[in-house]
Structure 1
Amino acid sequence: MSDVKLDRSLLKILQNKSPGTLAIFERSDNFACYGSDAKLIASCVFQSEAGIKTIQLHTENADILPYLPISKHQYQRVIREALTILRYRVELYCLDTNDDNAKEWILKAKGTAGNAADFEDVIGETTVSGTLAVKIIDGNENRVSICCVDINELGISVAEFIDTPTFQQTERILLGLCPHECLILHPFAAEKKKKLATVLKNLGIVMTEYDLMGKSLEETTNIIKDKEQANLSKNLKECLQAVSDYMRLPDELNFHGKFSVRNYGTNGFVYIDTAAVTSLELFHLFHAMSDVRAGGTLYGILNKCSTPAGQRLLREWLAHPLCDIRLLTERQDVVSALVESSGIRDMLRSRLLPKIPDCSVYSRKFIQNRAKLMDCYRVYQAVMILPEFEKYLNQLMEENEKCQSAVKELMLEPIIYASANFVKYVELIMNTVEEDQTSGGYRVKPDVDPQLLEIDGKMQEIRRKLEKMQKKMSSAVGVDVVLESNDKIGYYFRVSLKNEKELRSVNGITVIETSKSSGCKFKNAQLEELNEEYLSLNSRYQSTQGDLEKQIVTTCGTFAPILCQLNSTLSNIDVLVALATVADTSPAGYVRPKLLPAGSGILRFEDCRHPVIEAFSETPFIPNTVDISKDKRLMILTGSNMGGKSTYLRSAALCTLMAQIGSFVPATCATVSLVDGIYTRIGASDQQTKGVSTFMAEMSDCANILSLATENSLVIVDELGRGTSTFDGFGLAWGIASHILKQIRCMCLFATHFHEIGTLAKEDGAFAMQMSVVLHEGRLTMLYELREGVAGSSFGIEVAKMVGLPGEIVKNSYKILSELEGEKDLVEKLKKLNGEELRAALLA
């Protein structure tokens, strides 16, 4: 082996790999990273650079590189965290030993957060999120083509549209599709690329630049059902080509003709952008953290799902609430039935749904020809549970006659359809697959093939001999001896650790392993001889069943599309059961909202509560009523700092959103006119890394609201104008509130510390409310209750005093405030004087 050639090959890989890619090199006894990759893994995975060494390469410049050895035990952790947490692309290289004269490092496997299939043997089964490609046509308009391939659902989502300069429509689609990775097709204007990169970074999506390099588009469309090929434009075909080539789909013959295409528009869904997701704390924008950091979000409260597919679907529902009153009513009916029939709901949630595996993992394995008999059997076990689902769903219909149609449509009929389509699958597995008593896995039944039957007969004979030997050994030792086996060493004897001393009196015993948990494992010469014969026969059995196993797995693979449909059905059931569980188990109670068509202009929540704060608060939540109508569509909300204004606004927005995913809401009575968008301007944080100040962030959000909100939208504005001077802030806040009231004419909750804006309540369609406080002997008490009128003060100094600001500062603040208010009163008086009176007053 030539060190010079290998080192040159290694250095070339390090120099040519793209940013965001981690290169790992596999050696005979361990793995290694070099250069910046070594420092990255040391600091971000192991949190210590103590293990970093240096190595001098056999190259022209005798390059010296940081070097980090990775043990086989550490390798799994490195791969998992690099893909899922650091969100790096991972490339694994091994030595090319095909040519003794030209040994070099060659690519063995590669994976991304969106496609980790090559590393599933290391990190276990993973759910591959969709991978998406974007093409933007250069010009004055942002003409965007998007194609997302989802292997789990055998679906291709496509969209083409003209987007805003900041890619707002693209952002919405990304929120709904939730890909782990986005391919950016060349050519691409640098300015547009920069803006799109910002959107992707905000969502935690890995961006990869991709060049088609003149590849043919015909091969790509083979994965689509024939009748749907003509529906794709050239740009969409190029996007599909990029994704399929990147994911190596054309290499998988089983993919041909399997994928369905859907136009993924945003029509029919409520407008939700990243500003709303963040300010309302709907879920974590980074998909990888959605479960880890779900606490404190609406997703975390509603996520009572029992299956991974259900959890993914719930997040999708929150990202894309519905505007279709018929579909929402169906969901509500099902939730109502599950609330009323708590016994059936608990049976579904606690007993049946937890037994369902992530079917998307198995459908993908079937399609990619990577399934084993164990995978086939696990799907069989899931299908065998379907009759129980059918039984309890029929009971649910009997107990809830008013909701029968919805339960039948959304739950029962899809289950019946799946059961009918899996009849032949069940027959196949029952007749051909059984549990392997030695390995604990699964094997082809011996009666399927004469050779297997003959081998199994000999294996059964050995088992009988081993059982007789077990009884003799128990007598010799004087305690119960257990006969066990595993797939590594085959059969062995075992006694508990406390009985280990009894073995010392028996000759010819060899101890294999001793531990507190498993006791003492041992064997003798006779068992070892029979065990070797058994393992040899078992090896012959596995070899003989190879072709039969391939046939069984291939046949099971034809059921992949039906398995995808079953996965969709069960995830729907899971989410609806979760929503019913939340509604029924809330201490203060949830209510089914009455839904009205868009344009009705009514938003009313009696005793409205914040679902997240209520769940985590140690004190009872004080509810307030939200009452918006066409005649009172703009609420000017004032009140003290920390008085509950922001919580009130968020409560109204969250309840509206919950109503439009089909959920019950935390209130005593609710009426909701469907909205086409929920727009928020909440918070005063800047984005320094992007060069965006607090004021710029405010104005950007407001520009988005003023350009996109319609008469049927809900707008939430909290403390606008704090990022600039008082007079500028007041002018902008007044102007924006007035535009929403008179031009957009939508429902709006507008909280502000500029109490002067309260005079806007005199205009038609506006009204003023305030959060109540009591100030007694210098002590401020928050009542958190809504009442009419404009607050006289924000009580900022009183709040500062409450949190322990030094007394001297508080005293000086009161003094300065008194002087400013005195000047303000003087100016107001002077404005009311005529010319002679004003001259006399100034001379005085």
Structure 2
Amino acid sequence: MQQFLEIRRGLVKQYPNIILLYRMGDFYETFFEDAVEINRLLGITLTSRGKTVPVPLAGVPYMTLDSYLARLVKAGKAVGIVEQQGDSTTNKGAVPRKLVRIVTPGTLTESELLPSKADAALLALEPPLGKKAPEWSIVSLVLSSGAFKAMSVAEEELAGEIARIAPKEILVPDSIREKAQAIASGALVTPLPDWHFDPEHGAEQLRHHFQMESLDAWAVSEKPGILAAAGAVLGYVSQTQIESMPHIRPLVLEESSRFVGLDAATRRNLELTESLRSGGGPTLLSTIDHCLTAMGSRMLRGWITQPMRAPEVPRERHRAVGELVGDSEKCEELAAALRPLPDLERIASRIALGSVRPRELAGLRDALPQLSKLSKAAAGCSSGLLKAAAPVLEPPQELSETLERALLPEPAVTLRDGEVIADAFSDELRQLRSLRDHAGDFLTELEAREKQRTGIPNLRVEYNRVTGYFIEVTRGQADRVPADYRRRQTLKNVERFVTPELKGWEDKAIAARERSVQLERELYEGLVRSCSAWVERLTEASEAAASIDALLSLARHARDMEWTEPELSGQSGIVIRGARHPVVEKAIEHYVANDCELVPGRRLLVITGPNMGGKSTYMRSVALIALLALAGSWVPAQSARIGPIDRILTRIGASDDLAGGKSTFMVEMVEAAAILHQASSRSLVLMDEIGRGTSTFDGLSLAAAIARELADRIRSYTLFATHFFELTQLSQSCAEVANVHVRAIQSSGRVVFLHEVREGPASQSYGIAVAQLAGVPQRVIREARSTLRELEERSRLSGDQPDLFSSPGAGAQDEAPDDEGEDAEAQAALRLRDEIAALDPDSLTPRDALARLYALIELARGGKSA
């Protein structure tokens, strides 16, 4: 307990929410408040030790640690791992123990704790530092691959970049803790003292870790914000990994302008990697991901979530996909080499950490010949992207030979179980194992000799873990044992003895067993150290294999779904013929494809039509086709010409943020404001039903103003879906606006959605027909239709938009009122106005408000008092 308390005292200041897993034999124990917490989070049985001061106690088995770790980290806990440093059977007193690692959401490296098809990134944020660093600095590190990247972004782009990287943990200076929480996108925010973010110290750490004299080659010497954030990341990783520093690749300075801007709302609305439905559902990634390896799936995810603005890289991918689409034999050759590959990227990372397991090294050994086959297959391709991967994939021959010689064909799961290193790798190990493994032969021979020497026919030579080796004789024959027998144990019916020969052999056999275990551990650690020299090459080979796997996946999907190669043009605009939604087309038997033309002179399309008619699907299909093209994929269309795009921005759906104090309409306006601030003449904007969260006139006015801003001033390429038919008149006053509608027909009171997008505005919304399809009671439908007819008639007679809050029955009178009637009406109107003006809505309870509303209606209909 003294050991435990000393270790915990040193950690709790920096990691106040840490749980310490303290190794005791075959269990990791927790004590005091840690035990209570682990009982609450995991349901582990809570016990106690000690009578005077009972100590709460809860433990998890050593062999199932990973499953418990995953649950604790998911709950946002930091977990300290304390291991025994000696052998409990030979130590006198307390076994020495040491903190070997701190596990946090951003520092995971175990395959069992990581999602196989996604990375767990650690990210550090540094706010602007003044004129020399006016932007936010972002540095990210993926421990499982060693990818180390940095960029500087403007504040309005910060949330979008965090959503793109999707970190599991964000390190921030303590002074910006609250601001970071607001933009964390679900990641754990870990505040550190501000002095951890020091540019000079960060530069020194980078030079020391990468053994460099200068950072000029990385172009970060004059970027103090990036140096500060990079120093915080390296320091945090060093603290959490204790002695096992992971393999970290050279820092890459990225420009945010390389990627198409996708803010968090756009990623969510387009369902790139996560479904909008709470129960889950298909996403773009899950639809097109046919990768044969986990590292291929992660590569494909990166392409989809980071489409490129410059066309060169996507065009290379298009050509590679085209070659694979047209050559099924080549596809199968590449796939056959890819299928047996393990997750090379994560194995390489665990080699660098020194935590790689025997079975993983055996998997690497078996995978190296497959890499060679993949290299030969790639070398036979004509695409530059595939051909360039061939030399990178060729495995190092020395590594292959070392692993073949060092490992048994089927090594044990863990080193603790032994049977990992091959006999041929060490003469000493072979001899020790021979001594250990031939105990049975020696014991059989000794038993036969002793029976003959003593004449005791039922004499047996045995072994157990408590007593060791012994000669067992029944009590009735005990008087016949020779003088050199020494009694070891007396039981009810037998006596157990040991001879000098047996005792000498026992000492030698036990020593051989212990020495073989120790030697095997030493040999394995040396093997892992020798493998670390090839970590960089293995990482590069894993990237090349993942890239081929991702291209194969895109080619397979393009061939199966009859996708076409898009044209990435320098000409401004988007022209798509026969556009289909890549996810929806797999879910329905017959998809109605549609065209889309967004070009100068036709930058904003006002889309009208019924609910459920397909407006949102049409808009999303255009955005996803543009995104897929810039990610390097073929697209679901007959043809597609995609001009330069810097951002894809969306405002789709209705949701609120009650915890953040934002109503549905406020969320709608916040997202609209973000679009208006970020959009440019090269942006693709999707606006769906803007203005519907407020009154008719407010909503219509806002929608019209936003549409005009996007079309006339920002001049972005915009799809603008609406139920405000008044917006269709924008095409008469704004040269960049055109009208399209989604067709539907109504027959026998029922609506049929045709899902065809045609030129011109829609004739009606079919809202009541959709309500009927939804199962609204027929009496409600009949009353709604009656009210609609009256409202439309009044609108036709007055020429104005109907007042939705007046009585439907208060229409035109049969005869014109006389002067007295006019005076009475005027007085009643003034009185009604005064009554309404006198209301204080903030002071009314819901019941009072309803009563006053009924009274006002009565007054409006000619009653005496409100």
Task: Give the structure 1 partner of residue 190 of structure 2.
Answer: 208
Which amino acid in the other structure matches residue 215 of structure 2? Q
Do structure 1's residue 175 and structure 2's residue 173 form an aligned pair? no
- Taking a change above 3 Å as real, the CA distance of residues 54 and 551 of structure 1, as seen in their structure-2 partners, is closer
- The alignment status of 1:327 with 2:313, answered yes or no, reads yes
CA shift in 2, pair 1:228/1:333, >3 Å: farther
1:576 to 529, 534, 551: 551
* 1:140-189 deviation digits (Å, cap 9, x = unpaired): 9974222223334434212234423xxxx22233233332211112333x
Matched, 1:591 2:564: yes
Match of 1:306 among 270, 288, 292: 292
Q: Does residue 1:269 correspond to 2:259, yes or no?
A: yes
Aligned equivalents of 1:601, 1:551: Cα separation in 2:
59
The answer to whether residue 229 in structure 2 is matched with residue 239 in structure 1 is yes
Deviation at 1:531, TM superposition (A): 13
The corresponding residue for 1:676 is 646
Separation in structure 2 between the aligned mates of residue 829 and residue 546 of structure 1, nearest angstrom: 88
2:771 maps to 800
SS in 2 for 1:575: helix
Distance 2:211 2:11 in 1: 41
Helix, strand or coil for the counterpart of 1:684?
coil
Aligned-residue offset at 1:680: 0.5
| Distance across 2 between alignment mates of 1:696 and 1:206 | 26
Q: Choose the corresponding residue for 2:782, options 787, 799, 811.
A: 811
2:365 aligns with 380
Partner residue, 2:123: 132
In 1, the alpha carbon distance for the partners of 2:584 and 2:8 equals 54
Q: Does 1:91 align with 2:83?
A: no
Letter in 2 for 1:145: S
CA contact (8 A) 1:116 1:126 kept: no
CA deviation map 1:345-365 (0-9, x unaligned): 23433x322322222222222
Q: Say whether 1:651 aligns with 2:639.
A: no
1:184-203 equivalence runs, <5 A: 184-188=172-176, 193-200=177-184, 202=185
- In structure 2, relative to structure 1, the CA distance for the partners of 1:240 and 1:663 (3 Å cut) is same
Residue in 1 aligned with 2:70?
Answer: 80
Contact 2:375 2:393 survives alignment (8 Å): no
Please say if residues 144 and 350 of structure 2, whose CA atoms lie closer than 8 Å, have aligned partners that are also in contact. no
SS, match of residue 351 in structure 2: helix
Query: Unaligned 5+ residue runs, structure 2?
Result: 444-464, 466-504, 803-814, 823-866
Alpha-carbon distance change, 740 to 415 in structure 1, aligned in 2, over 3 angstroms: same
What do residues 1-57 of structure 1 show as CA deviations (whole Å, max 9, x unaligned)?
Answer: 79xx98x889989996856544556666756667887777566655xx9x6679999
Question: 1:125 and 1:283, CA in 2 relative to 1: closer, same or farther beyond 3 A?
Answer: closer
Using the size of structure 2 for normalisation, the TM-score is: 0.74
The TM-score with structure 1 as length reference comes to 0.76
2:148 is aligned with 1:156: yes
Q: Given the alignment, which residue of 335, 338, 363 partners 2:324?
A: 338
1:613 offset after TM fit, Å?
Answer: 1.4
**Is the contact between residue 219 and residue 250 of structure 1 (CA under 8 Å) also seen in structure 2?**
no
Which residue identity is paired with 2:723?
H
State the structure with more CA Rg.
Answer: 2
Cα distance in 2 between the residues matched to 1:68 and 1:43: 11
Among 719, 736, 739, the alignment partner of 1:768 is 739
Name the SS of the counterpart of 2:320 in structure 1: helix
Offset at 1:742?
0.8
Distance apart, 1:797 and its partner CA: 1.3
Q: Deviations over 1:393-439 (max 9, x none)?
A: 244x2xxxxxx2x3xx323333323426x133234334554436899
Give me the whole-angstrom Cα distance separating, in 2, the residues matched to 1:11 and 1:219.
Answer: 27
Is 1:391 aligned with 2:372?
no
- Kept in 1, the 8 Å contact 2:338–2:370? The answer is no
| Equivalent of 2:694 in 719, 724, 736 | 724
> Any conservation in 2 of the 1:221–1:237 contact (CA below 8 Å)?
no
Encode CA deviations 1:299-350: one digit per residue, 9 max, x unaligned: 111111122222222222122101221211110010011111123223433x
Give the CA deviation at 1:707. 1.4
Instruction: Give the SS at the match of 1:784.
Output: strand
Q: Where does residue 471 of structure 1 map in the other structure?
A: none
Deviation at 1:247, TM superposition (A): 1.5
1:564 to 1:753, Cα distance in 2 relative to 1, 3 A: same
Counting matched residue pairs gives 734
Residues 816 and 368 of structure 1, relative CA distance in 2, 3 Å threshold: same
Superposed CA offset, 1:580-631 (max 9, x none): 1111122xx211112212xx233222221111112223x3222222222222
Contact kept? 1:687, 1:693, Cα under 8 Å: yes
Aligned partner of 2:727: which letter?
A: I
Q: Counterparts of 1:303 and 1:125 in 2: how far apart (Å)?
A: 13
Q: What amino acid maps onto 1:390 in structure 2?
A: S
Name the CA distance, whole Å, in 2 between partners of 1:261 and 1:311: 24
Q: Which residue of 2 aligns with 1:425?
A: 399
SS at match of 1:384: helix
Check whether the contact 1:252–1:368 (CA below 8 A) recurs between aligned residues.
no
Structure 1 195/793 Cα, relative in aligned 2: closer, same or farther at 3 Å? farther
Q: Distance in 1 between matches of 2:331 and 2:674?
A: 42
What letter is aligned with 1:183? Answer: L
Partners of 2:152 and 2:256 within 8 A in 1: no
Structure 2 residue aligned with 1:742:
712
Distance 1:124 1:737 in 2: 42
Deviation at 1:776, TM superposition (A): 2.0
How many Å separate the matches in 2 of 1:437 and 1:108? 25
Question: 1:828, 1:533 → 2: CA distance?
Answer: 109
Structural RMSD (CA): 4.5
Determine if contact 1:26/1:93 at 8 Å carries over to the other structure: yes
CA distance in 2, matches of 1:437, 1:564: 24
Give me the whole-angstrom Cα distance separating, in 2, the residues matched to 1:579 and 1:139: 45
Which among 355, 358, 371 is matched to residue 343 of structure 2?
Answer: 358
In the alignment, is the contact (CA less than 8 A) between 1:223 and 1:250 conserved in 2? Answer: no
The residue correspondences of 1:522-561 to structure 2 (distance < 5 A) are 540-544=515-519, 547-561=522-536
Given that 1:768 and 1:789 are in contact with CA atoms closer than 8 Å, whether structure 2 keeps it comes out as yes
Matched residue SS, 1:357: coil
Task: Give the unaligned 5+ runs of structure 1.
Answer: 398-403, 467-487, 489-529, 832-839
The share of aligned pairs that are identical, in percent, is: 24
Secondary structure (helix, strand or coil) at the match of 2:603 reads: strand
User: Which residues of 2 match residues 604-643 of structure 1 at below 5 A?
Assistant: 604-617=575-588, 619-643=589-613
Q: Residue 33 and residue 640 in structure 1: after superposition, are their counterparts in 2 closer, same or farther (change >3 A)?
A: farther
Residue 760 of structure 1 contacts residue 766 of structure 1 at CA under 8 Å; is this kept in 2?
yes
Deviates more, 1:551-560 or 1:23-32: 23-32
Deviates more, 1:206-215 or 1:428-437: 428-437
